[in-house]
Amino acid sequence: MKLLLATCALLLSLFTGAVLAAGDAPFLYDIQGPKAHHYLLGSVHLLPASAQPLPAALDAAYDKATAVIFESDLATLADPKTQMAMLNAAVAAQGLQAAVGKDTWERLQKRAKSLDLPLDQTCAPYKAWFCAMTLEVFGFEREGFDADHGLDQTYFDRALEDGKAIHWLEEPQAHLALFTQMPDKLGERFLIATLDEEAEAGQNPKALLRMWRENDNTELERLTREMKQRHPAIYARLLADRSRAWLPRLDQVLAADSPQLIIVGAAHLVGPDGLLALLRAKGYDVHAVGSEPAAKSPATP
């Protein structure tokens, strides 16, 4: 979903006494742990080159952090062997057309034509989940968005260069299994959800970029809520279930005595199943950068 590719947020300590304008720290939050403030950045996975340099508040959070925690190990996910294994797992024995309904296939043909996407090479030989991901990435890349400029890759590369510790919330194989082990029927629902986005307001790359730049939590919550209502199984598999599964690991991260920077997709942050609500329910003081913290003692989960 575009929410998984292009929305962001970040947990972060206030590094100055100044109040920041909303756009100065998009989706940037402060979490008070038992021993230190920590930072969570909701990632925009693809951004245009014009998004650089990133907002100073995000860089300040990175600079303060002694370690950076990602959803998974980006180096392993980018390894050619991993990529080939994923491609092999995506091959559909009878082809995509035989695996999806007639209406889904016809909608896909129209969408591919509108994107100038060679369907016979990019989707037809593969499973529905792989086609859905291809449509998402191809649509963003046509608008000049690239993973190399995304928040995950930017801070991952910086952490490697700066020698910061790098950790992750889920193992690469578990991350890949979200897709490679997706049941065929659910894979078709994933593809249908992706095709539905073409007609949905606020789901194009430019609109999502605006949402990030303006720190538009209202729009982010609306899109996430609609995803839950229209595609509950996809929402559960890719967002809600994972957010809850990360909590034990997050407790360990937030127990550190020095600042940690946690980077996850922004759709993991909002709503009753989001990390902001889940962490607050565990007793953590969580607030947006630039807002006043709650008057309470540090969490001791």
- State pLDDT tens for residues 124-143: 999 999 999 999 888 888 88
* Most confident region among 2-16, 116-130, 141-155 by mean pLDDT: 116-130
Contact (CB, 8 A) for 30 and 286? yes
- pLDDT of res. 201: 52
> Is 114 domain-assigned?
yes
Q: What is the pLDDT of residues 65-122, one digit of tens each?
A: 999 999 999 999 999 999 999 999 999 999 999 999 999 999 999 999 988 899 999 9
Q: Has residue 185 been placed in a domain?
A: yes
Is position 301 within any domain? no
Nearest in space to 30 (alpha carbons), one of 20, 40, 17: 40
Task: Give the per-residue pLDDT at 291.
Answer: 63
Whole-angstrom distance, CA of residue 104 vs CA of residue 192: 7
Query: How high does pLDDT run on average in the chain?
Result: 86
Is residue 12 scored above 80 in pLDDT?
no
Question: Do the domain assignments include residue 274?
Answer: yes
Is 294 domain-assigned?
no
pLDDT at 257 over 60: yes
- The pLDDT value recorded for residue 184 is 95
pLDDT reported for residue 84: 95
Eight-state DSSP code of residue 126:
B
pLDDT category, 3, cuts 50, 70, 90? very low
- The answer to whether residue 151 is domain-embedded is yes
Residues 205-226 have a mean pLDDT of 88
CB 50 within 8 A of CB 145: no
What pLDDT, on a 0 to 100 scale, did the predictor assign at position 202? Answer: 54
Three-class DSSP category at 244: helix
Burial of 83-116, coded b for 16+ CB within 10 Å and e otherwise, reads eeeeeebbebeeebeebbeeebbebbeebbeebe
Q: Give phi and psi for 275, each to the nearest 5.
A: -65, -30
Supply angle C-alpha 149, 12, 219, rounded to 5: 65
Angstrom distance (rounded) from CA 26 to CA 43: 10
Q: Record the tokens describing residue 39, joined without a space.
A: 């930072």
38 Ramachandran zone, left/alpha/beta (phi>0; psi -120 to 50)? beta
Is the pLDDT assigned to residue 296 strictly greater than 60? no
Distance, CA of 36 to CA of 89 (rounded, Å): 42
Name the one residue in this structure whose structure tokens are 């021993």. Answer: 35
pLDDT for the residue numbered 17 = 27
Ordered DSSP codes for 25-82: STTEEEEE-SSSEEEEEEEBS-EEGGGPSPPHHHHHHHHH-SEEEESS-HHHHHSHHH
List C-alpha distances in Å: 179 to 9, 69, 164, 174, 229: 24, 22, 30, 9, 21
Tokens standing for residue 29: 């939050």
Question: With b meaning 16 or more CB within 10 Å and e meaning fewer, what string describes 181-208?
Answer: ebeeeebbbbbbbbbbbeeeebbbbebb
Greatest alpha-carbon pair distance for the chain in Å reads 61
How many structural domains does the chain have?
A: 1
Please indicate whether residue 122 or residue 297 has the higher confidence score (pLDDT).
122
Question: Rounded to an integer, what distance in angstroms lies between the CA atom of residue 153 and that of residue 174?
Answer: 20
Query: What pLDDT, on a 0 to 100 scale, did the predictor assign at position 104?
Result: 97
Instruction: Identify which has the larger pLDDT, 157 or 210.
Output: 157
Answer yes or no: is 86 within a domain.
yes
* pLDDT 10s digits, 258-267: 999 999 998 9
In eight-state DSSP terms, residue 297 is P
Residue 180 lies in a domain: yes
The mean pLDDT value for 228-249 works out to 96
- Which tokens belong to 169? 């919330």
Per-residue pLDDT at 107: 95
DSSP 254-289: HT-SS-EEEEEEGGGTSSTTSHHHHHHHTT-EEEET
State which residues form the domain around 54.
Answer: 2-288
pLDDT above 90: residue 298: no
